Amino acid sequence: MTSDAEVVPVADTLSRVFAALADPTRRDMVGRLSAADATVNQLAAPYDMSLQAVYKHLRVLEDAGLVSRPLGPQPRMVHLEADVFDVMDTWIERYRRQAERRYRRLDAVLAAMTETETDDTKGKTS
Amino acid sequence: MTDITQTTIEADPKVPVIRMTREFRATPEQLLRAHTDPQLFVQWIGPNATTTRIEEWDARSGGSWRFVSSHEGTEYGFRGCFHDVRPDRIVQTFTFEGDPDGVALETLWFEDLGDGRTLLRTQSLVDSFEGRDAWLASGMESGVNEGYAKLDELLANGAV
């Protein structure tokens, strides 16, 4: 498709986001960060895993653009980047609307079918 | 006219699946027919500015299908197999010929809600998250952006 060149970068972003969120621990981290920023230690507290493993998850989330750790006083806070979700929502919403448009056309076809069937029934009874 | 539920969509984070639901004012039998009768199918598969030409259509379990959509002189081919056609479901494969390695497995369920209404549930499974997201990004049908602005307008105005 000719539009591929344009959509690939966004698709890449989406792929990284979906891949990052495919892991339950990372989904949980994102869920907790949506309430408030947290330090890595605070984030790690509920999980039975090494701090190193937690950093590994954080790196995946960072690479996907889902979280950032802005420079500032130590310890640095992990911050959720909500913009990436907007990109994802925009694409999914666009796709949904396209399906909705298709189904509205189907509504019209079904309505015409019902009308024809009603006419047929009338034809038979008269 | 009572409002019917709009399309819902869900992109599963764990498996490369897109799920949708939509309610229709029709019986499951009518909905099945609108999906399997080629003359009815071409009337709604769209998008609006495209015309669809059925090249092959054997809507039986084990049959196959192919259609070509043209938009402003460019043709896009789609093909697949009807794996299973039953009163309450269709299981089929779906391939855009511009990306022949991408094969989606689609299941459509027609769930009788009574009172002349039917819930359509669809699930599309692709082989990777990248593939799924590319589909979402391209709008799957043709990658054509026409009409979105207009639709946004209509949705904003409450006209649709």
Q: Can you tell me the distance from the alpha carbon of A10 to that of B57, in angstroms, rounded to the nearest whole number?
A: 35
- Domain boundary assignment for chain B: 8-154
CB contact under 8 A, A100 and B24: no
Of A7, A99, A110, the CB nearest to B24: A110
Decide if A69 contacts A43 (C-beta within 8 A).
no
| A126, pLDDT greater than 80 | no
Question: With a CB-CB cutoff of 8 Å, which residues 39-78 of chain B face chain A?
Answer: 40, 43-48, 76
Better-predicted residue by pLDDT, A28 or B154: A28
Q: What is the DSSP letter of A62?
A: H
Measured from the Cβ of residue B90, the count of other Cβ atoms closer than 10 Å reads 21
Check residue B11 and give its pLDDT: 83
pLDDT of residue B155: 39
pLDDT value for A30: 86
Amino acid A52: pLDDT: 93
| Residues lower than pLDDT 70 in chain B | 1-4, 137-160
**Phi, psi for residue B77 in degrees, rounded to 5:** -100, 145
Asked if A80 and A66 touch (Cβ cutoff 8 Å), the reply is: yes
**How far does the CA of residue B22 sit from the closest CA of chain A (Å)?**
8
CA distance A64 to chain B (A): 13
- Asked if the C-beta of A14 comes within 8 angstroms of chain B's C-beta atoms, the answer is yes
Q: How confident is the model at residue A111 (pLDDT cuts 50, 70, 90)?
A: very high
Neighbours of A73 (CB within 10 A): 6
Question: Residue B127: its pLDDT value, please?
Answer: 87
Report the pLDDT value the prediction gives residue B4, as an integer from 0 to 100: 64
Between these two residues, A65 and B61, which has the higher pLDDT value? B61
pLDDT (0 to 100) of residue B152: 38
As a whole number, mean pLDDT of residues A3-28 equals 67
Report chain A residues whose CB lies below 8 A from the CB of B42.
none
pLDDT of A79 above 90? yes
Average pLDDT over residues A79-107: 83
Report pLDDT for A9.
56
Rama region for B140: left / alpha / beta (φ>0; ψ in -120 to 50; rest)? left
Q: Say if the Cβ atoms of B130 and A15 lie within 8 Å.
A: yes
Taking an 8 Å cut-off on Cβ atoms, the answer to whether B43 and A99 are in contact is no
CA distance A72 to A37: 13
Tell how far CA B10 is from the center of its chain.
15
Q: Which long-range contacts (CB under 8 A, 24 or more apart) does A67-75 make?
A: A67/A29, A67/A30, A67/A33, A75/A39, A75/A40, A75/A41
pTM for this prediction: 0.67
Tell me the C-alpha distance between A65 and A85, whole Å: 10
What is the pLDDT, as a whole number, of residue A8? 43
Q: B83 with B104: CB under 8 angstroms?
A: no
Which three-class secondary structure state does DSSP give residue A111?
helix
- Reply yes or no on domain B8-154 having CATH 3.90.1150.10: no
CB burial of B42-63 (b: ≥16 within 10 Å; e: otherwise) equals bbbbbbeebebeeeebebeeee
**Minimal CA separation from A71 to chain B, in Å:** 30
CA-closest candidate to residue B35, choices B74, B97, B84, B103: B84
The mean of the pLDDT values for chain A is 81
More confident residue, A22 or B148: A22
Instruction: Name the band, by pLDDT with cuts 50, 70 and 90, for residue A61.
Output: very high
Contact A100 B7 (CB under 8 A): yes
* Tens-place pLDDT, residues B131-149: 777 777 665 433 333 333 3
- Identity of the amino acid at A75: P
Phi first, then psi: give them for residue A75, nearest 5 degrees. -75, 145
Pseudo-torsion of CA A63, A68, A72, A73, nearest 10°? -100
Average pLDDT over residues A100-105: 91
Cβ–Cβ gap B33/A113 under 8 Å: yes
Residue B149 pLDDT: 37
